[in-house]
Amino acid sequence: MKKNHENYKELILRLAKTDFKLRYHGSVLGYVWAILKPLLLFLILNFVFSSVFNFKNMGIPYYTLDLLTGLLIFSFFAEGTSAGIASLLSKSQLVTKIYVPRWTIVIASTLNALFVFGMNLIIMIGFFAYYGKAPSIESILMFIFYIMLLYALVVAIAFLLAPLFARFRDIGMIWEVLLSVLMYAAPIIYPLTLLPVHLQKLILFNPIAFIIHFAKQGLIANHFATGGQILLISLGVGVVLGISFMIFRKNERNVAEYL
Amino acid sequence: MRYKETKKNPKAAIIIKDVSKSFIVPHEKVNTLRGVFTGLFKKNQYDILHALKNISFNIKKGEFIGIVGRNGSGKSTLLKILAGVYTAGSGSVFVDGAISPFLELGIGFNPELSGRDNVYLNAIVLGLSEKEIDEKFDEIVEFSELGRFIDQKLKNYSSGMNMRLAFSVAIHANRDILLMDEVLAVGDSNFQSKCITEFMKHRAQGRTIIFVTHDIGSVQKYCDRAILLRNGELVKMGIPEDVCNAYIQQNMEDEQVRMTMEQSHRDHKPAKIILKKSVEILKADFIDETGDTRQVFETGEIFAIRISFKINKPVSILNIGVGIHAISGGQVFGCNTQMDGYLIDLSKSEITFKLNEMPILKGDYYLNVVCFGEVEQDYYDVKPQFKNLKIYTSGHKYRYKGILDIDHSWEG
């Protein structure tokens, strides 16, 4: 049979563009809000931990950059997964009244978080410039690689949970709680080096923690994970993505009946 | 995996074989995890609804097919399986050609976006590429007659304008097979005729059109073949005349059942008017030409009304009258034996009122029966709303308005 949609890329981009327009439409500051949210959280945390707990004097000179980078990466992860999980439900018309490949809907919904993250990079660059910190070329390349890896993880989680969310609405709540757990399980507001060594190793088993830690370590301290570690996590994320896509293809068949 | 390929029939656009679909209908919709866990300890929390049972048919390329059936007969489920929204529970679905995968107009339309943005969004969802939309954009806008408003937000459009835009995008999507769920009911009559012209153009180009409707008039007018579904089963497939007649017949039978039940309900009500009851009316039935008792007839189908009565006290003169009234109000016809100068044989207990023509159009009616002596006011018995009558109209007459089908012709 002939395919109805030859051009998935255009379909995904158009859906994502619409999402973006709608999200910040009708608010005066527009997408500035998208940046302001993590920025405000950053300012509060920065005040608390720099001035009150004073991580700066505990051997972490660039705590502010550390915190900002970690927070922005995590908010990308949080927004991407939340939007991806809710995608089939929020665009239920595209599922129940028409056939478009459902995976395009999921991908399109996660893209918005990637756009916003791109915007946030401008702020990050500003802070790095202010503190006079110039990351090395290889650390920037690694940073981009880590973001791609994290995006793959976002998509994998969205594939896994979006059809389930259509059936069980409390998946959304559970994920919200899980996100705040994940945030504290990753070295974002505390530097990893503050923990006992055996705990550090344990925490790095969490791929999100691994990605966040080494992404910012590269930029700030020019310190990298070993090649073996990188290979392992890439393989791990790849396998998870593959499996979750297969599960998605199985689950999507009946998803229209639950919406 | 959605479609199985079979190359047996190159002329077929759609081959459906033994397709069944059932849904699990929970007594209470469980969409929380807690519901699932507590549900584990209860039994029989759901029913299985067989929406489609072993449906098989072929549709040739370029055919215009109408699907009719009552609510809940499985029409929309069938269309959703064709569109790929649902997967068939069993059986195989083969579709040759790009299918318009939508069942409703204006999918993805968002009131907060401009008409222009919505055209792009909707068209790309329907499978056009950005380049194709760029090329067709002016045509789409022109067809919708919304040129001036295209950059306004959709929320400022009237619902008619909304539908016009949606339809305009849909027909420019250029699919080989068009699926439409109740579309002919939108827009003003001008736009409707424009849509039908457009449908005809598509058909002339060899496209296959499948549409679901309640309007048997348009099925008879436009379709090559029609399909009748009932309770998930394919009852009939064939030329529209036959299928529509079967549909009307089916409706009549269902109506008959319903009205009989209603009637028995009414019979239990105590009579409010106390009358002399020298003569009592016992029963009135509508008798068709074959002698069967029915309550549902078609326009033009003649019938008789058989009235049974009982004489309690000897009377010298007896007159009986009947009146047919529309439930919506107004008497269609009424007369009595006195007016017609007919003398009732008092030795019998039955009288038949025969209609020689039946020009009553579709609607709900009821029958009043009275009997009286010398003057009409001197009632022996009155039976208001004694019997309900349902009239169906089929074919082109379906669209006639009013109560009477007046014999007519046009000249010029």
Q: What is the pLDDT of residues B326-348, one digit of tens each?
A: 877 778 899 989 888 888 888 88
Q: Which residues of A touch B102 (CB under 8 A)?
A: 97-98
Please tell me the predicted confidence (pLDDT) of residue B101: 64
Q: Which of B36, B84, B107 sits opposite A93 (nearest CB)?
A: B107
Enumerate chain B positions whose Cβ falls within 8 A of a Cβ in A. 3, 5, 23, 31-34, 36, 80, 83-87, 94-99, 101-104, 107-108, 110, 112-113, 117, 120-121, 124-127, 129-130, 175-176
A80 min Cα distance to partner chain B (Å): 21
**pLDDT band per the 50, 70, 90 thresholds, residue B1:** very low
- Supply the pTM of this predicted model: 0.73
Tokens of B277: 């009851």
Please state the rounded mean pLDDT for residues B306-312.
Answer: 90
pLDDT above 50: residue A134? yes
**pLDDT band per the 50, 70, 90 thresholds, residue B3:** very low
Q: Which of B84, B96, B121 sits opposite A99 (nearest CB)?
A: B84
Q: Which residues of A touch B85 (CB under 8 A)?
A: 95-99, 256
Whether A176 contacts chain B with CB within 8 A: no
Interface contact flag, A25 B112, Cβ < 8 Å: yes
pLDDT per residue over A191-248, tens digit each? Answer: 888 888 888 888 888 999 999 999 998 998 888 888 899 999 999 999 999 999 999 9
> Does the interface predicted TM-score (ipTM) exceed 0.85?
no
Interface contact flag, A168 B36, Cβ < 8 Å: yes
HEC sequence for chain B: CCCCCCCCCCCEEEEEEEEEEEEEEECCCCCCHHHHHHHCCCCCCEEEEEEEEEEEEEEECCCEEEEEECCCCCHHHHHHHHHCCCCCCEEEEEECCCECCECCCCCCCCCCCEHHHHHHHHHHHCCCCHHHHHHHHHHHHHHHCCHHHCCCEHHHCCHHHHHHHHHHHHHCCCCCEEEEECCCCCCCHHHHHHHHHHHHHHHHCCCEEEEECCCHHHHHHHCCEEEEEECCEEEEEECHHHHHHHHHHHHHHHHHHHHHHHHHHHHCCCCCCCCCCCEEEEEEEEECCCCCECCEEECCCCCEEEEEEEECCCCCCCEEEEEEEECCCCEEEEEEHHHHCCCCCCCCCEEEEECCCCCECCEEEEEEEEEECCCCCCEEEEEEEEEEEEEECCHHHHHCCCCECCCCCCCC
pLDDT above 80: residue B276? no
pLDDT per residue over B126-185, tens digit each? Answer: 888 888 899 989 988 888 888 888 888 888 888 778 888 888 888 888 778 888 776 655
A24 to chain B: closest CA residue: B112
Q: Which of A5, A94, A169 sits opposite B107 (nearest CB)?
A: A94
Interface contact flag, A98 B83, Cβ < 8 Å: yes
Interface contact flag, A98 B85, Cβ < 8 Å: yes
B4 to chain A: closest CA residue: A1
Please tell me the predicted confidence (pLDDT) of residue B362: 86
Please tell me the predicted confidence (pLDDT) of residue A170: 87
pLDDT per residue over A81-114, tens digit each? Answer: 999 999 999 888 888 888 888 999 999 999 989 9
Residue that is written with structure tokens 């972490």 in the block: A60
Please tell me the predicted confidence (pLDDT) of residue B8: 54
pLDDT above 90: residue B363? no
Mutate to test the interface with A, among B85, B113, B114, B183 (most CBs of A within 10 A): B85
Range of the domain at A236: 2-258
Share of chain A above pLDDT 90, in %: 42
pLDDT per residue over B201-220, tens digit each? Answer: 878 888 888 888 777 777 88
Number of domains in chain A: 1
Please state the rounded mean pLDDT for residues B119-125.
Answer: 88
B104 to chain A: closest CA residue: A97
Winning range, highest mean pLDDT, from A136-150, B182-196, B231-245, B366-380: A136-150
Please tell me the predicted confidence (pLDDT) of residue A243: 96
Whether A57 contacts chain B with CB within 8 A: no
Q: Which residues of A touch B76 (CB under 8 A)?
A: none
pLDDT per residue over B9-46, tens digit each? Answer: 667 888 989 899 888 777 666 667 777 776 666 655 67
Q: Which residues of B touch A105 (CB under 8 A)?
A: none
What sign does the CA torsion over B280, B286, B291, B293 have?
A: negative
